[in-house]
Amino acid sequence: MFSLKNKTILITGGTGSFGKKCAEHLLRRYSPKRLIIFSRDELKQHEMRVGGFDHPAMRYFIGDVRDVDRLRRAMVNVDVVIHAAALKQVPACEYNPIEAIQTNVNGGRNVIEAALDNRVHRVLALSTDKAVSPTNLYGATKLVAEKLFVQANAYRGGDPIRFSCVRYGNVVGSRGSVVPLFREQRKTGRITITDARMTRFWMTLDQAVELVLNSIETMYGGEVFIPKIPSMRVVDLAEVIAPDCEQVEIGIRPGEKLHETLISEDEARHSIELSTRYVITPMHPWWKDQEVAPGRPLPEGFQYSSNTNPQWLTQDQLRRLVGETDSQPETVSVES
């Protein structure tokens, strides 16, 4: 199994919620030789550094994934790349479609090109449930990015480089999540709900990081890793955060889904189930069936969706997850 210990690791979009939590785990558990934070905002890099991320192993590279030459320079002698940089806000991507394509699609291609040129050993890209049967541009760009990273394995030749993806749902505490919105709205006594029937997959930042790091250590190249995570009802979350507020239904926004799907029925035909995750395997000639951990094939007609998920968060569990009690947040292991 590939080991992350004492490796040189680069995180694109490293000043975001995921990047900072990932850096925290890497520094605490893996003693990286170098940990490179690659992002385009010098203020966020400064705030991250003075906020406690000033370890001797850390390097801060200002750059944009749209700039392939800067990526090539940043990846010199890098062992592992975690590609987290993206435009993620659905309404912003709908209104600025070319910008979303430039960052999420062309930026992904640039990461692949730079990694191939520098013979990086492992590259893992972060994706989203919105990439499955996408109804918005954000999901469509992430679907294209997934395809690019999976197929990049065909270009590695005799090099040891491997490309894979992880795909997961909403993350508690990440920037842009509905939790800070509800907390701000409760000051007015009125919470807006797009649709009372809406469900979402839900996981913590720690779970997301564990999924990513474990996937890097176990990947063969070409897989899409999907965690087994619980679903929640948005109305339950609103009730937990603002129990005394009026809930006003305003209708689904452009590009928004009522429920989310992590594995489609068609993908399930070439997926396997492990104890704590699913793995979508590639349907390409270069993939060998033996290059995967032992797992169970999924039943005919299987689909992994937030509204049919057998695992649900109760209001008490949601209350602990979002910190609305004095209890510690609950976590569910995603290691396999």
Q: What is the rounded distance in angstroms from the CA atom of residue 322 to the CA atom of residue 336?
A: 25
Q: What is the rounded distance in angstroms from the CA atom of residue 34 to the CA atom of residue 149?
A: 24
Q: What is the rounded distance in angstroms from the CA atom of residue 19 to the CA atom of residue 38?
A: 10
* CB-CB contact of 258 with 198 (8 Å): yes
Would you please indicate which residues are annotated as catalytic (active-site) residues?
Answer: 130
Q: What is the rounded distance in angstroms from the CA atom of residue 195 to the CA atom of residue 291?
A: 43
The closest of 86, 206, 205, 209 to 139, measured between CA atoms, is: 86
> Structure tokens of 177?
């999540």
> Structure tokens of 269?
């035909």
3-state secondary structure 257-316: CCCCEEECHHHHCCEEECCCEEEECCCCCCCCCCCCCCCEECCCCCCEECCCCCCECCHH
C-alpha separations of 28 from 22, 159, 335 in Å: 10, 30, 17
The closest of 105, 86, 91 to 40, measured between CA atoms, is: 86
